[in-house]
């Protein structure tokens, strides 16, 4: 059993506060994704759980044990780094077994564990290679192998896919999901990519400036964002915001806006007139960017649409799916 509980965690470097007062409970075997913009403290939080960084105040519990004063190696965690951190002078086998050798396991045990991990990650044929002879995806698999052989209670991932190209990222995303189903351990995964967050997470924790904005399942966050920040962070392309004279903002996603001539019948709608300023065909759909009284509106239109830039268009907003935010950006 390995719940991870963070209670009133604070972190400052000298006098700069990075993390204010943060509490979160992570269930056993849960896949939790921490997302937020660059510099919001995701890595710092993960490194504090790993024990690579001291906490200024608060309590971290892994399983049943308070780990505040424990060395990283005693915390029963494994970590996968963004730049893989594979030792260039060691073979794949040596890289994966490095921690086991440090822990003085017998040669036979080490071999068994490495082979098991290599099997899961399809690395068996690569064990004798050096990291320089591997592709980016293979390197990332090796660094996952190094984590797996430790049999940790908790896996920590810090932006493991951000150095890979888009296609490979999709493949590796699927592999990580598969890995979670195979090894059945708690995973805490840091990313700033909302697609990764949506597809991988059981629950997402959204951070901004070291503060939790919202915790919930991907669909919770998509359907009921608690504030404008969460609303704009989750979903791609970003949600549109239209502010009226009272300062109330209507948030509406690009997929909830239609060209008026071509719209389905909906219950609560509003029609606006705008000018098309950009048309980006993506195949199955075409992204339209329009100007509405100085507000930029993005629309996800069907791929068959073909308009002229500069043309006046009428847009139908599916207000029934919209979100209202007050002056402070809080959901109303």
Partner 1 sequence: MAEQKIYKKAISVKKTVIWTMLAIGAIAMLTPIIFMFSASFKYSDEIFNLNIIPSEPTLSNYIYLFEETTFFKWLINSFIISTVVTFSVLFFDALIGYTLCKFKFKGRKIVFIAILSTLMIPTEMLVIPWYVLSNNLGLIDSYFGLMFPGLMSGFGVFLMKQFFEGVPDDFLDAARIDGLNEFQIFIEVALPLVMPALSALAIFTFLGNWTAFLWPMIVTTSADLYTIPVGLASFSGEFQTEWEMIMTGAAVASLPTLLVFLLLQRFIIRGVILGGLKG
Ligand X SMILES: Nc1ncnc2c1ncn2[C@@H]1O[C@H](COP(=O)(O)OP(=O)(O)OP(=O)(O)O)[C@@H](O)[C@H]1O
Q: Given the complex with partner 1, which of 71 and 306 has the nearer CB atom?
A: 71
**Binding of ligand X by 44 (CB under 6 A):** yes
Q: Given the complex with partner 1, which of 50 and 121 has the nearer CB atom?
A: 50
E strands present in the chain: 4-13, 16-26, 31-35, 57-62, 65-66, 77-80, 154-158, 186-191, 203-208, 211-216, 240-243, 249-252, 257-259, 269-281, 285-292, 295-302, 312-318, 323-325
Q: Which residue is nearest to ligand X (CB)?
A: 43
**Binding of ligand X by 38 (CB under 6 A):** yes
**Binding of ligand X by 194 (CB under 6 A):** no
Nearest-angstrom CA–CA distance, 258 and 254 = 9
Q: Given the complex with partner 1, which of 123 and 317 has the nearer CB atom?
A: 123
Whole-number minimum distance, CB 146 to partner 1, in Å? 7
The secondary structure of residue 131, as a DSSP letter, is: G
Question: Pick from 23, 25, 39, 128: which binds ligand X (CB under 6 A)?
Answer: 39
Whole-number minimum distance, CB 81 to ligand X, in Å? 11
Q: How many CB atoms lie within 10 A of CB 194?
A: 21
**What would the x/- binding string for Mg ion be over residues 288 to 307, using CB under 5 A?**
--------------------
Q: Under the rule (CB under 8 A), what is the footprint of partner 1?
A: 47, 50, 52, 71-73, 77-79, 81-83, 85, 87-89, 98-99, 102-103, 132, 136, 139, 146, 150
Q: Given the complex with Mg ion, which of 16 and 244 has the nearer CB atom?
A: 16
Sign of CA dihedral 105, 2, 95, 46: negative
Three-state DSSP class for 94?
helix
Task: Specify the residue for token string 């709608």.
Answer: 269
Per-residue tokens: 149: 């052989």
Q: Given the complex with partner 1, which of 2 and 290 has the nearer CB atom?
A: 2
Whole-number minimum distance, CB 191 to ligand X, in Å? 8
Q: Which helix (H) or strand (E) holds 220?
A: helix 218-223
Q: Burial code of 39-60, b = ≥16 C-beta within 10 A, e = fewer?
A: ebbbbbbbbbbbbebebeebeb
- Per CB under 5 A, the segment of 35-43, 121-129, 134-142, 215-223 that binds Mg ion is 35-43
| CA angle, residues 189, 38, 23, in degrees to nearest 5 | 55
Q: Given the complex with ligand X, which of 40 and 121 has the nearer CB atom?
A: 40
Tell me how long the chain is.
332
Per-residue tokens: 329: 């950006």
**Binding of ligand X by 208 (CB under 6 A):** no
Sign of CA dihedral 261, 263, 266, 271: negative
Q: Given the complex with ligand X, which of 3 and 82 has the nearer CB atom?
A: 82
Three-state DSSP class for 262?
helix
**Binding of ligand X by 54 (CB under 6 A):** no
Nearest-angstrom CA–CA distance, 167 and 313 = 35
Nearest-angstrom CA–CA distance, 167 and 148 = 24
- Per CB under 6 A, the segment of 33-41, 120-128, 299-307, 321-329 that binds ligand X is 33-41
Whole-number minimum distance, CB 29 to partner 1, in Å? 21
Binding residues with Mg ion: total (CB under 5 A): 1
Whole-number minimum distance, CB 36 to Mg ion, in Å? 10
**Binding of Mg ion by 43 (CB under 5 A):** yes
**Binding of ligand X by 85 (CB under 6 A):** no
Residues of the shown chain interacting with ligand X in the complex, contacts defined by CB under 6 A: 13, 18, 36, 38-44, 192
> Which residues contact Mg ion by CB under 5 A?
43
């Amino acid at each position: 059993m390995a719940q991870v509980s963070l209670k009133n965690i604070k972190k400052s470097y000298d006098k700069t506060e990075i993390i204010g007062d943060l509490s979160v409970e992570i269930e056993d075997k849960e896949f939790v994704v921490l997302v937020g913009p660059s510099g919001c403290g995701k890595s710092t939080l993960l490194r504090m759980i790993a024990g690579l960084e001291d906490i200024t105040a608060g309590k971290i519990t892994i399983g049943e044990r308070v780990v505040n004063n424990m060395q990283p190696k005693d915390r029963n965690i494994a970590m996968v780094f963004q730049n893989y951190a594979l030792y260039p002078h060691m073979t794949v086998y040596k890289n994966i077994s490095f921690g086991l050798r440090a822990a003085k396991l017998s040669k036979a045990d080490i071999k068994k564990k490495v082979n098991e991990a290599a099997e899961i990650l399809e690395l068996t044929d690569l064990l004798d290679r050096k990291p320089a002879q591997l592709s980016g995806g293979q390197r990332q698999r090796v660094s996952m192998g190094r984590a797996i052989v430790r049999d940790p209670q908790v896996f920590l991932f810090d932006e493991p896919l951000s150095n890979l190209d888009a296609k490979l990222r999709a493949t590796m995303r699927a592999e990580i999901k598969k890995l979670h189903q195979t090894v059945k351990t708690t995973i805490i995964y840091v990313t700033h990519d909302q697609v990764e967050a949506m597809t991988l997470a059981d629950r997402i924790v959204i951070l901004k400036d070291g503060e939790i904005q919202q915790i919930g399942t991907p669909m919770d966050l998509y359907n009921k964002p608690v504030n404008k920040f969460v609303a704009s962070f989750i979903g791609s392309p970003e949600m549109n915001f239209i502010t009226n004279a009272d300062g109330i903002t209507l948030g509406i996603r690009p997929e909830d806006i239609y060209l008026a001539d071509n719209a389905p019948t909906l219950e609560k709608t509003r029609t606006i007139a705008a000018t098309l300023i950009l048309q980006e065909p993506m195949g199955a759909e075409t992204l339209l960017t329009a100007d509405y009284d100085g507000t930029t509106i993005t629309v996800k239109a069907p791929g068959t649409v073909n308009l002229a830039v500069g043309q006046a268009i009428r847009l139908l907003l599916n207000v029934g799916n919209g979100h209202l935010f007050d002056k402070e950006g809080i959901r109303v």
